[in-house]
Amino acid sequence: MPHVILKMLEGRSEEQKQALAEALTRAVTTTLGCGEDLVSIGIEDFKDAEWMAKVYGSDIRERSDTIYRMPGYGPED
């Protein structure tokens, strides 16, 4: 039962978010071989000024052992 949480900067339309959720669902079901009824997708919007403190620090840097693709930016960039 895959559950995907996507955190991103605010500003995308509901249509973009719905299209992204559908694309992620297809990727999950194709890659993992599960049905769509088992997949849930959450999208959380953040302000640019909040990103480093609320997302980068706690979700990326402090949980780097769970990150399969690191971003090309960081607090020192």
From first to last of the 77 residues of the chain, give the pLDDT tens digit. Answer: 999 999 999 999 999 999 999 999 999 999 999 999 999 999 999 999 999 999 999 999 999 999 999 999 987 65
User: Is residue 2 among the annotated active site residues?
Assistant: yes
Indicate which residue of 1, 2, 53, 61 is catalytic: 2
- Give the per-residue pLDDT at 77: 55
CB 36 within 8 A of CB 25: yes
Tally Cβ neighbours within 10 Å of residue 61. 14
Q: Which domains does the chain have, with CATH numbers?
A: 3-65 (3.30.429.10)
- Say what the pLDDT of residue 52 is: 95
